[in-house]
Amino acid sequence: MEDVGEKLVQVVIALAIFAAIIALIMLLVDRAPKTFRDKATIIGFLAPAVVLLAIGLIWPAIQTTYLAFTDRNGSPNGMDNFVWMFTQPEALVTLRNTLLWVVLVPLMSTGIGLAYAVFIDRARGEKALKALVFMPMAISMVGAGVIWKFMYTYRGAEREQIGLLNQILVWFGGEPKQFLLDAPENTFFLIAVMVWIQTGFAMVILSAAIKGIPTEIVEAARLDGANGRQQFFSITVPSIRGALIVVVTTITIGTLKVFDIVRTMTAGNFETSVVANEMYTQAFRASEPGRGAALALILFLMVLPIVLYNARQLKKQREIR
Amino acid sequence: MATVTFDHASRLYPGTEKPAVDGLNLEIADGEFLVLVGPSGCGKSTSLRMLAGLEDVNAGRILIGDRDVTDVPPKDRDIAMVFQNYALYPHMSVADNMGFALKIAGVSKEERAERVREAAKLLDLEEYLDRKPKALSGGQRQRVAMGRAIVRNPQVFLMDEPLSNLDAKLRVQTRTQIASLTRRLGVTTVYVTHDQVEAMTMGDRVAVLKDGVLQQVDTPRALYDRPANVFVAGFIGSPAMNLLELPVTDGGVQFGGMTYPVPRDLLGEAHGSTVTLGVRPEDLERAEDNHGLAVFVDVVEELGADAYVYGHTEFDGKRYEITGRVDGRTPPVAGSTVYVRPKEGHVHLFDTQTGLRLGEHAPGTPEASVEDLNVPVEAGKTAD
């Protein structure tokens, strides 16, 4: 209990310091000479955020970049870490897996989410049906990993199965399967967990976008003779294009960074590792901070174009409306 | 080109008791321009949407030509609709918007382009074909919506308040353009509006609805001259007709200080001791000998040639607003009292209880009111 009390006092002190700094900045801005006041206001309010960002984000980024070109003793080693990444079989598996994740998860989550959103639109019990699919979003990825590990659990054929999927296999007269051990399909079983989580996200956003399509436009399309399929491809999809792009890119970014699922379910063993997991393993398990940093850098370079594309598309969408 | 028939068509929205459209009977002739008019919530848009197939028909039938389309999906009805907010596809160019129905129907690219170009020429849209709807003005969007309907070359045009999003000046211009265009194309048109001026100026015939029930359908002139009931009398005409509940006296009705003579058999049709007398503002004249209805003048609107006098009068403990149109050169002064009386032969008499026009039908059969008048008129032969 004493510990908690101490922490509370610390929080209060921190907040007081924060308030004092803000008050000081405001005071200084207010006292600034008139000709300079607009600029002073902007700088005064921007500076704290910029400083914090610099300490918390920009400096570490620079450091990581430097680290990526050093060996395990911290001395520069040129491109060695990248050479390792693109030549060693175990590192190449990691890159291949990440590619599989990045292609499959956004495609399947968005596809299934969109289909689901369209089918349940204005159906009876729509809210309950939506909640059902959205629920996994509320579970942490670690939690989801643990849950699905149970789903995939393997027991020898002679013993009672406790994993649901293996039990179903047995019921249908099959042999129990080592879902998480047998490469390369085990990667797909991990991907299924991520799809399970992200489908709800895609469905909710796309469903809201579909509801935003003006009724008259849909009616006009019906009168123009479009059947269900034509309405979907000529009206629905173009109308929710902005939401689709946001969903696909958001899921892609989330997938590139995927770590928890792999960590909890296989720890990256059995050829299931992905870049984020390998980054952690190299930096903190294998004492190869240089390799970890190089992987982090690659991850960043992979995310960057998607973020830029996303921003540009959003701007374009605004021009249509 | 085809006729359109509503045969006792009704629409009851789920969860409501009263039908939005109640047993609508309407026959629209081939090539006719029919206007559905009425106040908000009268069922005019619902009727149109039933014809379009966007609303279910819960009872009765709808026919286009000789074909019963009651249960036919919208796309197979061979109709085209212009929506109030145009409902253009925002992600398509003007040309794609206009050609969408043809594309769906599998018309070849060349023919599609040709037909779109023809319609664009007709509507003065040729230079905008590559633009997105967003880059067009309200009037241009409206024309694109028209173009989308014209390109399809349908049996029937349906228009749901297509002018209500335009400014006043453009509305008057477009009004004439639409009326002349549909007549030139000879396509049967059903046009919905809440604006009785639009209804009167555009329609070959006008159908007046209220609370889901058809009140009267007739040529604009006939609606104005012989409204079938009190509602139509008050709805058609601007400013509205003065409606007064007057006591019946021997040989007429008591109109202020004078007796307005009414034939005895007409008065005999009325239920009760009063009748409702309607007189349009332009049919009121000053009674110089103070032998008429005393009206206290509240406001005088001078319009140049004419002046509108807004006043009120009270009798039998009821207050009535009175509007009169007088010569613009000699208007009364606000605050004064003037005496007015109807011009001879220019009054409308209604049964106060049933609201129906006296002298139209035998007493006791108010139900027969609408159907008698519901005879289609050949397009183009009507008085505009």
What pLDDT digit, counting tens, does each position of A11-49 carry? Answer: 999 999 989 988 888 888 888 777 777 888 888 888 888
| Cα–Cα distance, B323 to B310 (Å, whole number) | 5
Say if CB B112 and CB B147 are below 8 A apart.
no
Decide if B91 touches A, using CB distance below 8 A: yes
**Residue-wise pLDDT tens digits, A261-288:** 888 888 777 878 888 888 888 888 887 8
Q: CB-CB: which of B88, B104, B132 is closest to A320?
A: B132
Domain boundary among A16, A38, A67: A67
> CA of B29 to nearest chain A CA: how many angstroms apart?
22
Tell me, what's the pLDDT at A36? 77
A142/A183 same-domain check:
yes
Is residue A130, in this structure, part of any structural domain at all? yes
pLDDT at residue A148 is higher than 80: yes
Nearest chain A alpha carbon to B53? A223
A240/A298 same-domain check:
yes
Q: CB-CB: which of A227, A235, A241 is closest to B89?
A: A235
Q: How many other C-beta atoms are found inside a 10 Å radius of the C-beta of residue A169?
A: 17
Average pLDDT (B120-143) is 89
Average pLDDT (B175-179) is 87
Say if CB A299 and CB A101 are below 8 A apart.
no
Q: What is the DSSP string of B77-110?
A: S-EEEE-TT----TTS-HHHHHHHHHHHTT--HH
* DSSP bridge partners of B21: B11
Contacts of A224 in chain B (CB under 8 A): 75, 100-101, 104, 148, 152
A185/A289 same-domain check:
yes
A62/A179 same-domain check:
no
Whether omega for the bond prior to residue A184 falls within 30 degrees of 0, making it cis, is yes
Contacts of A241 in chain B (CB under 8 A): 91
Structural domains of chain A, count: 2
Bridge pairing between strands B188-193 and B156-160:
parallel
Whether omega for the bond prior to residue B239 falls within 30 degrees of 0, making it cis, is yes
Residue B175 phi/psi, 5-degree rounding, is -50, -50
Sign of the dihedral defined by the CA atoms of residues A272, A276, A277, A283, in that order? positive
Q: CB-CB: which of B52, B88, B132 is closest to A223?
A: B52
Tell me, what's the pLDDT at B377? 46
Is residue A82, in this structure, part of any structural domain at all? no
Position of tokens 């175990």? A90
A97/A59 same-domain check:
no
A188/A303 same-domain check:
yes
Tell me, what's the pLDDT at B27? 92
> CA of B192 to nearest chain A CA: how many angstroms apart?
16
Decide if B75 touches A, using CB distance below 8 A: yes
Is residue A80, in this structure, part of any structural domain at all? no
A204 vs A44 pLDDT, higher one: A204
Tell me, what's the pLDDT at B16? 86
A122/A56 same-domain check:
no
Contacts of B100 in chain A (CB under 8 A): 221, 224, 226, 234
- Mapping DSSP onto H, E and C, the string for A240-264 reads CHHHHHHHHHHHHHHHHCCCHHHHH
Say if CB A257 and CB A198 are below 8 A apart.
no
* DSSP bridge partners of B210: B213
For chain B, the 3-state helix, strand and coil shares in percent, each to the nearest 5, are 30, 30, 40
Is residue A49, in this structure, part of any structural domain at all? yes
Angle at A222 between CA A218 and CA A228, to 5 degrees: 85
- Mapping DSSP onto H, E and C, the string for B232-243 reads HHHHCCCCCCEE
Average pLDDT (B20-25) is 90
Contacts of B54 in chain A (CB under 8 A): 219, 222-223
Range with the lowest mean pLDDT among A67-81, A141-155, B123-137, B352-366? B352-366
Smallest CA-to-CA distance from A127 within A204, A205, A196 is with A204
Nearest chain B alpha carbon to A231? B104
- Which of A122, A124, A215, A224 is the best residue to mutate to test the B interface, defined by the most B CB atoms within 10 Å of its own CB? A224
**Residue-wise pLDDT tens digits, B38-94:** 998 888 999 999 999 999 899 999 999 889 999 999 888 889 999 988 899 988 999
Q: What is the DSSP string of A136-155?
A: GGGS-HHHHHHHHHHHT---
Beta strands in chain A (DSSP E): none
A261/A306 same-domain check:
yes
Contacts of A220 in chain B (CB under 8 A): 81, 83, 87-89, 148
pLDDT at residue B316 is higher than 80: no
Say if CB B348 and CB B258 are below 8 A apart.
no
Q: How confident is the model at residue A319 (pLDDT cuts 50, 70, 90)?
A: low
Q: CB-CB: which of A219, A223, A227 is closest to B79?
A: A223
| Cα–Cα distance, A136 to A153 (Å, whole number) | 20
Is residue A72, in this structure, part of any structural domain at all? no
Is residue A79, in this structure, part of any structural domain at all? no
Full domain range(s) for residue A27: 2-67
| Cα–Cα distance, B381 to B30 (Å, whole number) | 13
Average pLDDT (A289-294) is 86
Tell me, what's the pLDDT at B156? 92
* DSSP bridge partners of B209: B214
Whether residue A225 and residue B104 make contact (CB cut-off 8 A), yes or no, is yes
Q: CB-CB: which of B90, B91, B100 is closest to A224?
A: B100
**Interaxial angle between packed helices A164-171 and A141-151, expressed in degrees from 0 to 180 and rounded to the nearest 10:** 30
Helix (H, G, I), strand (E, B) or coil at B11: strand
Mean pLDDT estimate for chain B = 86
Smallest CA-to-CA distance from A273 within A88, A71, A83 is with A88
CA A305 remoteness from chain centre:
15
Q: How confident is the model at residue B192 (pLDDT cuts 50, 70, 90)?
A: very high
Helix (H, G, I), strand (E, B) or coil at B255: strand
pLDDT at residue B363 is higher than 70: no
Is residue A78, in this structure, part of any structural domain at all? no
| The dihedral formed by the CA atoms of A242, A246, A249 and A250, expressed in degrees to the nearest 10 | -170
Whether residue B89 and residue A321 make contact (CB cut-off 8 A), yes or no, is no
| Cα–Cα distance, B203 to B228 (Å, whole number) | 18
Contacts of B79 in chain A (CB under 8 A): 223
A50/A169 same-domain check:
no
Beta strands in A274-320 (DSSP E): none
Contacts of B349 (CB under 8 A, 6+ apart): B253, B262, B266, B270, B275, B276, B277, B278, B357, B358, B359
Q: How confident is the model at residue B365 (pLDDT cuts 50, 70, 90)?
A: very low
A115/A7 same-domain check:
no
For chain A, the 3-state helix, strand and coil shares in percent, each to the nearest 5, are 80, 0, 20
Query: For the sheet containing B156-160, what is the strand order?
Result: B79-82, B156-160, B188-193, B33-37, B205-210, B213-218
Tell me, what's the pLDDT at A268? 75
Domain boundary among A14, A35, A67: A67
Range with the lowest mean pLDDT among A72-86, B145-159, B315-329? A72-86
| Cα–Cα distance, A259 to A282 (Å, whole number) | 13
Smallest CA-to-CA distance from B308 within B371, B249, B242 is with B242
Nearest chain B alpha carbon to A318? B134
Overall pTM surpassing 0.90 (yes/no): no
Tell me, what's the pLDDT at B381? 41
Domain boundary among A18, A39, A67: A67
| Cα–Cα distance, B210 to B230 (Å, whole number) | 12
Mean pLDDT estimate for chain A = 85
* DSSP bridge partners of B82: B159
> CA of A113 to nearest chain B CA: how many angstroms apart?
23
Q: Which CATH number is A160's domain given? A: 1.10.3720.10
Say if CB A116 and CB A133 are below 8 A apart.
yes
Name the percent of chain B lying above pLDDT 90: 30
In this prediction the ipTM stands at: 0.79
Smallest CA-to-CA distance from A217 within A203, A238, A202 is with A238
A231/A111 same-domain check:
yes
* DSSP bridge partners of B231: none
Tell me, what's the pLDDT at B34? 93
Is residue A75, in this structure, part of any structural domain at all? no
Whether residue A227 and residue B89 make contact (CB cut-off 8 A), yes or no, is no
Q: How confident is the model at residue B361 (pLDDT cuts 50, 70, 90)?
A: low
Tell me, what's the pLDDT at A138? 86
A147/A247 same-domain check:
yes
| Cα–Cα distance, B380 to B183 (Å, whole number) | 8
Q: What is the DSSP letter of A176?
A: -
Name the percent of chain A lying above pLDDT 70: 98
Beta strands in chain B (DSSP E): 4-11, 21-28, 33-37, 59-64, 67-68, 79-82, 156-160, 188-193, 205-210, 213-218, 242-249, 252-255, 258-261, 274-279, 284-286, 293-302, 306-315, 318-327, 337-342, 348-351
Average pLDDT (B213-240) is 91
Tell me, what's the pLDDT at A14? 93
